[in-house]
Structure 1
Amino acid sequence: MSQALQIQDSIEPVSFKLYDADFAAFSQKLGDSYARWGFAAISDHGLDQARIDAALDQMKRFFALPEETKLKYKLPIAGQRGYTPFGVETAKGHTHYDLKEFWHVGRDLPAGHRFRDHMPDNIWPDAELPEFREKVQWLYQALDAMGLKVLQAISVYLDLPRDFFADKVDVGNSILRLLHYPPVPQDGPHIRAGAHEDINVITLLLGAEEAGLEVKDHDGRWIAINPPAGSLVCNIGDMLQRLVNHRLPSTTHRVVNPAPERRGFPRYSTPFFLHFNSDYLIKTLPSCIDADHPDRYPEPITADDYLKERLREIKLA
């Protein structure tokens, strides 16, 4: 069992009420948390809890369906839409697969859009769960909108224009992942999610009911993330770390298996992986390069090429 410290002793949640009341303070507090931890907790996020609960209820109903029913929604498109079954995703560099299954929802694009070759239509379990589409789409849109506001704060923290990211993520290949970690009946080599860094720009995560999320501090200690109820956890991904030359770190994190007394309980969570537009060229920002911080990434790469490279590493492509 992990002997992680408790992150609430180190990370102070930032109230989203500051976004309107004192945006400069909101940006500074959020940015300082990212610079130190790569993670931040946002309290008072203002998202409709009743609608969040309705989406979570639909998610739980889906994962309770028979395996053969769920497998009808597994598509051969690198796991970016529909259902990915238990025992597939494996963290980069790991031998043992993660103990999880999940459902992916992506951005809806109009006919003829230039990204439709790699961002196909979503699929939906309408026959089994006629309310799933509406309730889960709301959650996607709510987290997408919140992500833009978080990026505004990050922009100002980095001395960039407040709307710097707006036209770089407006049709991004962003994914809402509905995650189910089944009960863990016994010890073994697999854990719920092996140590990894997120691929994308930022990740927004509504609080999971069961503990387990941990981040790795600078000194190698694992620190448990247990934010106050009703908080939104948000972390920096590798794409943003690369763009800003590690001024904001993409921190290694994992989801450990439960304590013996909680082994019979599943864990659910809903990370939203916010991505750049596929054709955006991730090229180190000049303002993040100086004599003490030379460019770590002199060769730029498009967001889509970077994503494909990383998906192959975790066995989702």
Structure 2
Amino acid sequence: MKNVPTLDIRRYDSDRDAFVAELGAAYREFGFCCISGHGIPHELIDGSYDVFKRFFALPTETKMKYHVAGSGGARGYTPFKVETAKDSQYADLKEFWHVGREIPRDSKFADVMPPNLWPSEVPGFKPYGYGLYEALDQLGSRVLRALALHIDQPENFFEDKTDVGNSILRPIHYPPITQDNIPNVRAGAHEDINFITLLVGASAEGLEVLSHGEWLPITTEGDAIVVNIGDMLQRLSNHVYPSTSHRVVNPQNENARKPRYSVPFFLHPNPDVVLDPLDSCITADNPRRYDTSISSHEYLLQRLREIKLI
């Protein structure tokens, strides 16, 4: 069985052409790659997990103080069984929190990017949560430089398209599965909406990616972070980079009885970026797949309706 490869991003500086070719090949085949050598300190990752776990351990009524009804979960807390994978009959078995980009409140995007909420009950939540946000944002930009080169764009092609991107850090808590008669999926099969997703340190097995009709388990080693393509980049690249279905299943062992924590970072373009297929991704073998233009913000709203967040 083929496995999603792990590539060391330091090779972008030491062995660029080969790294870009291998990274591009991984994404063309799987829509996923594991990235090592990124330099994000263990202390930042471990400290972030610690504050997120402490938040999820709070009483429900305390957490609900940070639930903003009608906001689509854009910031703050979203309780269990709200989000539902597109076309799924079961709501996902998870609760989560959203950290967004800190922008000046007179920014032209202020109306679609609300201010962050920070739970006063958990000391350190803001410095760890926003520190991890910024570290993953910077790593995502490094991955996008390599992806740009692979599709014959300038290295810095994505920079002015993501510098005020509506990106989200989403700490998730999947509670222990204590009954035997509930669906065997904690998060239903889905594709991500954004440009790329960076997933740091899932605490238990369960993540699977659909490849050639088979579900492949993804497990990382060492400091590796899972990075996958989302639907917006699939559209912009005219499907050169596929957005691949993935899911989180209950482990078939005692880990199903343990909570699972995971912290994906959804890297989004700026809200006004138009997701038209790039000319460099349109060929005789891969004709243009989209005739209508749509901005990333319009696309986001359309998808949030589908997954019942708005």
Q: Same fold (TM over 0.5)?
A: yes
Q: How far apart in 2 are the matches of 1:17 and 1:245?
A: 28
Aligned counterpart, 1:118 = 112
Please state if 1:104 is matched with 2:98.
yes
Q: Residues 184 and 249 of structure 2 are in contact (CA less than 8 Å); yes or no, is this contact kept in structure 1?
A: no
Q: Residues 187 and 248 of structure 2 are in contact (CA less than 8 Å); yes or no, is this contact kept in structure 1?
A: yes
Q: Residues 87 and 101 of structure 1 are in contact (CA less than 8 Å); yes or no, is this contact kept in structure 2?
A: yes
- How many angstroms does 1:288 deviate by? 1.2
Q: Residues 180 and 268 of structure 1 are in contact (CA less than 8 Å); yes or no, is this contact kept in structure 2?
A: yes
Q: How far apart in 1 are the matches of 2:89 and 2:142?
A: 37
- How many angstroms does 1:190 deviate by? 5.9
Aligned counterpart, 2:186 = 192
- How many angstroms does 1:96 deviate by? 0.4
Q: TM-score, normalised by structure 2?
A: 0.97
Q: State which of 173, 186, 198 in structure 2 corresponds to 1:204.
A: 198
Q: State which of 197, 213, 228 in structure 1 corresponds to 2:207.
A: 213
Q: Residues 4 and 218 of structure 2 are in contact (CA less than 8 Å); yes or no, is this contact kept in structure 1?
A: no
Q: Residues 3 and 216 of structure 2 are in contact (CA less than 8 Å); yes or no, is this contact kept in structure 1?
A: no
Q: How far apart in 2 are the matches of 1:313 and 1:301?
A: 16
CA RMSD of aligned residues (A): 1.1
1:165-180 counterparts in 2 under 5 A? 165-180=158-173
Q: Residues 47 and 142 of structure 1 are in contact (CA less than 8 Å); yes or no, is this contact kept in structure 2?
A: yes
- Aligned length, in residue pairs: 308
- How many angstroms does 1:204 deviate by? 0.4
Aligned counterpart, 2:125 = 132
SS of 2:302's equivalent?
A: helix
Q: How far apart in 1 are the matches of 2:223 and 2:238?
A: 32
Aligned counterpart, 2:275 = 282
Please state if 1:95 is matched with 2:89.
yes
1:7-156 counterparts in 2 under 5 A? 9-76=2-69, 77-126=71-120, 128-156=121-149
CA shift digits 1:45-65 (9 cap, x unpaired): 211111111111000000000
SS of 2:160's equivalent?
A: helix
Structure 2 residue runs without a partner (length 5+): none
1:276-315 counterparts in 2 under 5 A? 276-315=269-308
Q: How far apart in 1 are the matches of 2:283 and 2:293?
A: 18
Please state if 1:234 is matched with 2:230.
no
- How many angstroms does 1:227 deviate by? 1.8
Q: Residues 107 and 174 of structure 1 are in contact (CA less than 8 Å); yes or no, is this contact kept in structure 2?
A: yes
Q: Residues 148 and 156 of structure 2 are in contact (CA less than 8 Å); yes or no, is this contact kept in structure 1?
A: yes
Q: Residues 28 and 241 of structure 2 are in contact (CA less than 8 Å); yes or no, is this contact kept in structure 1?
A: yes
Q: How far apart in 2 are the matches of 1:190 and 1:92?
A: 17
